[in-house]
Amino acid sequence: MVENLQEGMRLHAMYSDGEFYPATVVTVSTTKKRAKAPVKVHFEGFGDEHDTWLDVDSLKSKQLSKPKAKAKSKAAAKAKSKTTAKGFKYKGKTVDEILQTTTAEKREDGTYVVKIGILGGSGMDNPDLLQEREEIDFKTPFGKTSDKLVCGKIEGVPVVLCGRHGKKHTLMPGNVPFRANVFAFKALGCTHMVVSTACGILREGIAPGELVLLDQFIDRTQKRIQTFYDGRPGSPAGVAHMPMATPFCAETGQIVKEAADELGVKMHPKGTMVSIEGPRFSSRAESNFFRLLKADTINMTTVPEVVLAVEAGLLYCSIAMATDYDCWKEDEEHVDVAKVLAVMKGNSDNVLKVWKKAIPAISAKATTGAIEAQQAQAKNNIMGVH
């Protein structure tokens, strides 16, 4: 059967929900390593992250004989055993309900128990930092999270930690499971999502080692799904048209900036982040183009992370850790990984100090109005369901 397949051939392939969808053959392998799943396909209309290696029984087209009934049934059963949005429930709530309603615990006086999802967080997984520490695996309808989730408390405030790029930084930016990470935080009852991100510098006035509190972004990514409502069978119903005029939470940002000031940590009060696809760095022409856009910093992960957080009704705050000047600055040495890592060590220490001070303050000062307004926005801007 494999010999009948060619790259570029259009056919129908079985997706993880057990149904067949239009797809294109990307690669056909004849190696022993790929004997059980020799065909890589791209599902038409889906992102590249859905590309999958399949066995021939999971394919059908006019050029191929139909799969044997027994093999097809086995493959379908295996696919349906995976977690998908269709039929998913957590604590009695469907995917739509988790995204569109507040999942946080509500007190008798009408206020919410603030719970904070922390992503990025070098050093935040210190056992001495967290009380009541517990690691959990959490299955989402959007795949696995980047790493195991670590639940616990910081100064009595409930938090959930996750390393964005995995425990050993094995996930390149375009392969970070952004939807799974954000959805897990929301399902577990988080009201806020605070993150740290390494970045390059695009203008004078920001120095390596300083922190920038983000308030805007410019999207230059190319291949990433930016919505939970992607139209795939089993996804939440409707189309999300989320306002993005103010994607970062000003209330949370002010609290974080006050904490940095009290600690004497240099933090710029606002900044626009350009997110590029990566994993490569920019060319000089690109770097100068981004400067024309009046951007301050550049990274590879803010988008779609902030977009998905807003879509999930989470109050999102991001500290950018400036590591180096992007290549527009010709009198500086070119960026390389070794230099970035050296600066990041000092940056990470400062971010850790800020989060330790800011998290109890966020819990104490976060307003019910801000939490409910963010959630109302996430619910009221879905078209096709109301």
SS (HEC) of the chain: CHHHCCCCCEEEEECCCCCEEEEEEEEECCCHHHCCCCEEEEECCCCHHHCEEECHHHEECCCCCCCCHHHHHHHHHHHHCCCCCCCCEECCEEHHHHHHCCCCCECCCCCECCCEEEECCCCCCCCCCCEEEEEECCCECCECCCCCEEEEEECCEEEEEECCCCCCCCCCHHHCCHHHHHHHHHHCCCCEEEEEEEEEECCCCCCCCCEEECCEEEEECCCCCCCCCCCCCCCCCCEECCCCCCCCCHHHHHHHHHHHHHHCCCEECCCEEEEECCCCCCCHHHHHHHHHCCCCEEECCHHHHHHHHHHCCCEEEEEEEEEEECCCCCCCCCCCHHHHHHHHHHHHHHHHHHHHHHHHHHHHHCCHHHHHHHHHHHHHCEECCC
In the numeric block, the tokens 């269709």 are attached to: 86
Residue 261 annotated as catalytic: no
pLDDT for 73? 41
If 0-12 CB within 10 Å is exposed, 13-18 middle and 19+ buried, where does residue 362 land?
buried
Distance CA 192, CA 117 (A): 6
Instruction: Please state the φ and ψ torsions of residue 361, each to the nearest 5 degrees.
Output: -70, -40
Residue 125 annotated as catalytic: no
CATH class of the domain at 89-383: alpha beta
Distance CA 286, CA 282 (A): 6
pLDDT for 76? 39
State the catalytic residue, choosing from 57, 324, 336, 349.
324
State the catalytic residue, choosing from 125, 215, 296, 326.
326
pLDDT for 70? 40
Domain ranges of the chain: 2-80, 89-383
pLDDT for 85? 66
pLDDT for 174? 93
Listed residue (13, 6, 4) closest to 57, CA to CA: 13
Q: Do domains 2-80 and 89-383 have the same CATH topology?
A: no
pLDDT, one tens digit per residue, over 34-63 is 777 788 888 776 666 667 888 777 777 644
For 204, 271, 286, the CA distances from 327, given in Å and listed in that order, are: 13, 19, 9
Facing residues of 12 across strands?
22, 60
Query: How open is the CA angle 314-315-318, to the nearest 5 degrees?
Result: 115
Check: CB of residue 307 under 8 Å from CB of residue 227: yes
pLDDT for 122? 53
The CATH fold assigned to 2-80 is SH3 type barrels. (2.30.30)
> How many Cα atoms sit within 13 Å of 129 on the Cβ side?
19
Q: Which token pair is 325?
A: 């000047």
Please list the ranges in the chain whose pLDDT falls under 70.
Answer: 1-3, 16-18, 45-50, 61-86, 121-128, 334-335, 386
Q: Which residues contact 187 (CB under 8 A, 6 or more apart)?
A: 90, 91, 93, 98, 103, 138, 140
Check: CB of residue 255 under 8 Å from CB of residue 339: no
